[in-house]
Structure 1
Amino acid sequence: MGEQRCYLGIETGGTKLLARLVHGASVIAEDRWPTTTPDAALTAITDLVGEHRVDGIGIAGFGPIVVDPAAANYGEVLATPKPGWAGANLRAALSERLNAPAAVDTDVNLAALAEQDRGAGKGFASVAYVTVGTGVGAGLALAGRTLSGALHPEMGHVPVLRLPGDTSPSGCPFHANCVEGLAAGPGVQARLQGRRLEDSPADFAAMADYIGQLFATIVLAWSPHRIVAGGGVLSVPGLRDAAAARMGVALGGYGVGDAAGQPGFVAAPMFENAGLDGALILARRAT
């Protein structure tokens, strides 16, 4: 039996940064920090690794980010409202600092991969993962591989139809009517003005409708066998199921097929930090 190797998984998010160092099946070190600057992230992660030799690095990054390994700027963060991150390349910096191969994909793509591998999507040939939290994102795992093209899926920025009379401001600096602008944390907070979503039926219904429209778009565009949906906004009791019901309304019976019409088609994640688990899968493949 060959020597067990050491792998580093990282997940970057809008508010927090996670890292886990494993040797075989054992966790050597794990920590989390607020997301501040790329330099602070690089320092925190290398301090966590310490003197350990790392054989492979996997990064589950927030988008937009270059995920094409053939690109000269592989791993670079593109235009983003997160201060200091546009143009940053944590993948390249860590690979050089730790002298190890490093791979990157989106946090939602790798969350889909982890949930398909041994989570809520296990046994399904295609699994879409949706997160509705600080931002909105969606990724797709197809038989153990993730979906990417010239860039990667940016489903959080698909437009949705506002409910009649809804004039709440968008939280997205790019779009007035995308699902991220209306249903992610900043937009929800602006809408609620200190109230709780579960205590405001009209706002709850609006969020269910907009997220349900996103689910319907994913069904029509990707036709997954299961949608796994999580994130802070979807932790509101009953919202996931309400959004799944609104998905059915948005589809109007079209495109449902044998998958989307089944009970449990929209499921809760099994992993608390699925992107981090997916990053470790990617780290093992990077070697």
Structure 2
Amino acid sequence: MLGAIEAGGTKFVCAVSDENLNIVKRYFFPTTNTEETLKNVYEFFDKFEGLKAIGIGSFGPIDINENSPKYGYITSTPKIGWRDFDFLGEIKRRYNIPVGWTTDVNAACLGEYEVGSAKEDNSCIYLTIGTGIGGGAIANGNFIEGFGHPEMGHILVKIHPKDKDFKGWCPYHGDCLEGLAAGPSVEKRYGIKAEDLDPNHEIWQILAYYIAQALVNYTLILRPEKIVLGGGVMKQTQMLKLIKKEFRALLADYVEIPMIDQYIVLPSLGDDAGIIGGLILAKQNL
């Protein structure tokens, strides 16, 4: 039996599956303080005998450098109580089994790469656009990372002419991609939640402009075979078409890409990408 933890900044998902990734049981609960949250994690996994490995995809930033004294820690997160928390260490102290460790978006990327929208490709990027923006990348079966993991949501982008008075909401950078295009940026602008705005509101064109800039940058630097876009903002059905249109205009045919409808896609695993990726990570660590 395999276990997975999708540790989000607002919600945890725990699941167990058989070795063919068929989910047997899953459990959702809010992310509160470390003590209460881990108590819920333990209460879930303690029920299952024969657990062979666990895969963790965690919100971050996290330390993924195995040579670092803080390997396995959640590091500079703005989430109160979780900064410099030894997440991996706590799980390993509870369960004497192999534990895989990566970011939540890397886990989702792995799920889509192995069994989802990018399963026929050798490389892909997964970008989630929701409460925050984060991305993971895989090439030839390996995560693209080095001293640390990518922080694709915090790249700098040009300001849309109709958005020049908005300063962004990222607590670190203000008007980075996340500060301008994540879901909370809409509420910061207008005082209402993104899902309550009309699909024809101009904000969707503005967000598409920012997201397309990011995709052009990732394309030019990493040249992936596929880009998968997930997260709550992408549940706005108009967004994919708007992003593709902006992407085409910004790339200006400078480099060759696959057919755009096969290049920029939605996750075929939907909201299960992260938890399935965690189960795959567990299996890889057996």
- The yes-or-no answer on 1:35 pairing with 2:31 is yes
Q: CA RMSD in A?
A: 1.6
Q: Deviations over 1:49-101 (max 9, x none)?
A: 12424221110111210112332221111111111111112211011112222
Distance in 2, Cα, partners of 1:53 & 1:37: 29
- CA separation of 1:198 and 1:14: change in aligned 2, threshold 3 A: farther
Tell me which moved more, 228-237 or 43-52: 43-52
Question: Contact 1:60/1:279 (CA < 8 Å) preserved in 2?
Answer: yes
Question: Contact 1:171/1:184 (CA < 8 Å) preserved in 2?
Answer: no
Distance in 2, Cα, partners of 1:267 & 1:199: 19
- The yes-or-no answer on 1:19 pairing with 2:14 is yes
Note the residue ranges of structure 1 that are not aligned, 5 or more in a row. 1-5
Could you tell me which of 178, 184, 187 is aligned with 2:185? 187
**Residue matched to 1:262:** 260
Seq. identity, %: 32
- CA separation of 1:198 and 1:227: change in aligned 2, threshold 3 A: farther
**Aligned residue-pair number:** 280
Question: Contact 1:212/1:247 (CA < 8 Å) preserved in 2?
Answer: yes
Note the residue ranges of structure 2 that are not aligned, 5 or more in a row. none
Tell me which moved more, 201-210 or 148-157: 201-210
Q: Deviations over 1:80-132 (max 9, x none)?
A: 11111111122110111122221211111121111111111111111110100
Question: Contact 2:170/2:178 (CA < 8 Å) preserved in 1?
Answer: yes
| Paired residues for 1:168-247 under 5 Å | 168-194=166-192, 196-199=196-199, 201-247=201-247
Question: Contact 2:133/2:182 (CA < 8 Å) preserved in 1?
Answer: yes
Distance in 2, Cα, partners of 1:134 & 1:209: 18
**Residue matched to 2:159:** 162
Question: Contact 1:29/1:48 (CA < 8 Å) preserved in 2?
Answer: no
What TM-score do the two structures reach when normalised by structure 1?
0.92
- The yes-or-no answer on 1:49 pairing with 2:34 is no
- The yes-or-no answer on 1:286 pairing with 2:285 is yes
Superposed structure 1 runs of 4+ greater than 6 Å apart: none
Q: Deviations over 1:118-162 (max 9, x none)?
A: 111111111110100010011111122211110011010000111
Shift of 1:249: 1.7
Shift of 1:199: 4.4
